[in-house]
Structure 1
Amino acid sequence: MSADNERRRLPRLQLDLQVELVDQASGETLGVLVNVHLEGFLMMGGLTLKPDHLYTVELRPITPVPSLEPVTLTMDCLWTRAMGQQDRVWAGCQIVDLAPDEKQKLAAMIEQFTHEAAEEEQHQRMA
């Protein structure tokens, strides 16, 4: 088991819907979620992401989903690693501030994504 896996307490959930992270201070899109849980996430972003830096962001589905509301939270960018593309990085982020109503929205987003993923997996097995 790697050191990264030993530190993880919660399973990472893959998202079937692209969700962008928009910096509330600048309005710029910082990147997109790769996987998520209620304490943190992995994202793919640009070189402007700085480790050990706090960002207040809004998580928004790129294609709007009527039943999902954007989620506002403060994240700590723990680390970044080059992706092999000149201007893109992987970034590990911890959620450091999440209001109770925003946590409910994030939980609903995760629930819907994992439900859809399970449904699609079941459909693929039946095909």
Structure 2
Amino acid sequence: MVEKRKLSRKIANDRLVIKDQISGSKVGTVVNISAAGFMLLSEKAIKTGNIYQFDLLMPQLVEQHSQISFGAEALWCSEAAQAGSYWTGFQIIDISNRDEAIISKLIEGWSIQE
């Protein structure tokens, strides 16, 4: 598989929950992330090709914020090794400059995903 990412993703050191802005329901937790995209672990399969509006809930304040909002497109989804779980790769397609900077600040000391 050819690597197409513009930014290296970092392994989530904290429990980062993704919530659907429209339904308010928890979608899953972040496995790795950059300001351009993330991989999610969820209990339900995510429909690829769709665009979603998400809130990222952070366990501590970053730049005085406990959550950020963005739009993301689901690029791929596959069943995880543990039954009833799914991995989904997202590209962040709509995010404010402030929220992009908050992601960068949040992950600056984390390990790069290999």
TMscore range, shorter length: 0.7 to 0.9
TM-aligned CA deviation for residue 87 of structure 1: 2.3
* Partner Cα distance (2:45, 2:79) in 1: 12
Q: Report the RMSD for the aligned CA atoms in angstroms.
A: 1.7
Secondary structure of 1:27's partner?
A: coil
Larger relative strand fraction: 2
Over alpha carbons, which structure has the higher Rg?
1
Q: Does 1:65 align with 2:60?
A: yes
Determine if contact 2:62/2:105 at 8 Å carries over to the other structure. Answer: no
Structure 2, unaligned runs of 5 or more:
none
Give the corresponding residue for 2:52.
55
Match of 2:90 in 1: 93
Give the TM-score normalised by the residue count of structure 1: 0.77
Q: Distance in 1 between matches of 2:61 and 2:92?
A: 25
Q: In proportion to residue count, which structure has more helix?
A: 1
Say which SS state the counterpart of residue 106 (structure 1) adopts.
helix
**3-state DSSP class of the match of 1:93?**
strand
List per-residue Cα deviations over 1:10-58 (Å, max 9, x = no partner).
2220111010000000001100000011110111113252111111111
From the superposition, tell whether residues 101 and 42 of structure 1 become closer, same or farther in structure 2 (CA, over 3 Å). same
Deviation for aligned residue 1:110: 1.6
Query: Which residue of structure 2 aligns with residue 102 of structure 1?
Result: 99
Partner Cα separation in structure 1 for residue 5 and residue 23 of structure 2 = 31
Distance in 2 separating the partners of 1:59 and 1:10: 19
Higher relative contact order (CA 8 A, sep 6+): 2
Unpaired stretches in structure 1, ≥5 consecutive residues: 118-127
